[in-house]
């Protein structure tokens, strides 16, 4: 197999190796998938300024996200069912992130539990929280994250109800896969995935099964989760969560300047501009189109982070140039994980690091902390005009 040189190389390999329902879960959006596609394609509208005859030596991508040092302005985003892209997927991704010097964010809906990940990585990681109606469970979950040494809590605000995810419905998404004829045929063509999965006991939602009264298997879990996402979640709940947590709090799912204003007033440490990877409201703005307005609204009062559509180091650089203090990659690392396990996640991070480093140099800068609208053709206004055009 040739060495993967781009995130697209990893995506194509993952598509061959990961069962259809789990590949589609990672690589799809809501309804028409218009917002999902725009997240990625809108980056190409932003043009970079090439500079010449400048000193390009001694370059650095090191910076900070929420006051924590990172080797580059990238974190692994929280993604559900990561352990179904590859056996023990969350553990492998966390180890790769630790080696790369970037944060890993564990999803509430992970296959490997908080405790599993903590046992297999020496680096602090972040934990993402979905708010359920069962507040006692949520309080216990927060305490488990604290006990595991998580150094930030990422509260997702844009999944009070589930978006229209047609591929997941058609595929009968479940963990582990239901033994239907269609699934069994598909699994027969994924021997590598099957052998790895047979070798691990981690095949269901480790943060939930065994931690909720009455939820002991996949059948009871399905019924519980279907009724538990809280549609009444509101800004008043954030104070309760912040008090329970007591540490760094990041609010994920901000796409509108009015919501950004509420986030800034909430006492949170950072917000993430995100449309849930285009998997919630189809027809919403792409994340990169929403970013400049949110930075303008609250960027001097709360740290603005970015999530959505990043497939290269150039995309990271463009988001930073438009005011993001850091970025999250989800699908990019999932492709690597599905393609090659821990080695694939490392490859994805190496690809993004190299692309960002080379692009920054060719734009005439040596330190990621110096990157701003100067690297964009027409500056911030030019980028906004191209995104709107």
263 contact partners, CB below 8 Å, separation of at least 6: 251, 254, 271, 298, 302
Known binding residue 227? Answer is no
The active-site residue, picked from 86, 120, 211, 276, is 276
CA 131 to CA 13: how far, in whole Å?
A: 35
Alpha helices in the chain (DSSP H): 7-17, 20-26, 34-41, 89-100, 114-120, 135-147, 166-171, 181-188, 191-198, 218-228, 235-245, 257-265, 287-298, 313-321, 331-340, 342-362, 379-388
Nearest to 108 by CA among 211, 238, 255, 25: 211
Q: Is 23 annotated as a binding residue?
A: no
Is 276 noted as a catalytic residue in this protein? yes
276 is in an annotated binding site: yes
A 10 A CB-CB count for 216 gives 11
Asked if residue 86 belongs to a known ligand binding site, the reply is no
- 279 assigned binding-site residue: yes
Does 310 belong to an annotated binding site? yes
Q: Is 385 annotated as a binding residue?
A: no
Question: Does 244 appear as a known binding residue?
Answer: no
Q: What is the DSSP string of 330-369?
A: SHHHHHHHHHHTHHHHHHHHHHHHHHHHHHHHHTT-SBGG
Residue 265, marked binder: no
The answer to the question of whether 85 is labelled as a binding residue is no
170 known ligand binder: no
Instruction: Please state, in angstroms and rounded to a whole number, the distance separating the CA atoms of residues 318 and 352.
Output: 13
Residue 202 labeled ligand binder: no
Is 140 known as a binding-site position? no
Rounded Cα gap, residues 190 and 185, in angstroms: 9
Show binding-site residues for glyoxylate. 25, 165, 276, 279
Residues belonging to the binding site for FMN are 78-80, 107, 128, 130, 156, 252, 274, 307-311, 330-331
Active-site residue set: 276
Specify binding-site residues: 25, 78-80, 107, 128, 130, 156, 165, 252, 274, 276, 279, 307-311, 330-331
């Amino acid at each position: 197999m040739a060495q993967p040189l781009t995130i697209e190389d990893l995506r194509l390999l993952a598509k061959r190796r990961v069962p259809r329902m789990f590949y589609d879960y990672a690589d799809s959006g809501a309804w028409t998938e218009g917002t999902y596609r725009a997240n990625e394609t809108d980056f190409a509208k932003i043009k970079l300024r090439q500079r010449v005859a400048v000193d390009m030596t001694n370059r650095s991508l090191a910076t900070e996200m929420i006051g924590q040092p990172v080797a580059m302005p990238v974190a692994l985003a929280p993604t559900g069912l990561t352990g179904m892209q590859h056996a023990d997927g969350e553990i492998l991704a966390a180890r790769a992130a630790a080696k790369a010097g970037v944060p890993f964010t564990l999803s509430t809906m992970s296959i490997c539990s908080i405790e599993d990940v903590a046992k297999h990585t020496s680096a602090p990681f972040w934990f993402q929280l979905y708010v359920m109606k069962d507040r006692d469970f949520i309080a216990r979950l927060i305490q488990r994250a604290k006990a595991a040494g998580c150094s930030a809590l990422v509260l997702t605000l844009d999944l009070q109800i589930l978006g229209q995810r047609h591929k997941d419905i058609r595929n009968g998404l479940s963990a582990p896969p239901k033994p239907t004829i269609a699934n069994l045929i598909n699994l027969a063509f994924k021997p590598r995935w099957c052998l790895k999965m047979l070798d691990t006991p981690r095949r269901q939602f480790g943060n939930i099964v065994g931690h909720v009264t009455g939820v002991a298997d996949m059948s009871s879990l399905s019924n519980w989760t279907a009724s538990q996402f809280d549609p009444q979640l509101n800004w008043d709940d954030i104070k309760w969560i912040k008090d329970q947590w007591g540490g760094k709090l990041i609010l994920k799912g901000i796409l509108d300047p009015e919501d950004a204003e509420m986030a800034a007033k909430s006492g949170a440490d950072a917000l993430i501009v995100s449309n849930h990877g285009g998997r919630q409201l189809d027809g919403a703005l792409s994340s990169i189109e929403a970013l400049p307005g949110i930075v303008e609204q609250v960027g001097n009062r709360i740290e603005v982070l970015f999530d959505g559509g990043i497939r290269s180091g150039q995309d990271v650089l463009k988001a930073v140039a438009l005011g993001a203090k850091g970025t999250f990659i989800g699908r990019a690392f999932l492709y690597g994980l599905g393609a090659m396990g821990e080695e694939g996640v490392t490859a994805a991070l190496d690809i993004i690091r190299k692309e960002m480093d080379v692009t920054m140099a060719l734009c005439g800068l040596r330190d990621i902390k110096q990157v701003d609208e100067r690297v964009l053709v027409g500056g911030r206004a030019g980028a906004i005009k191209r995104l709107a055009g």
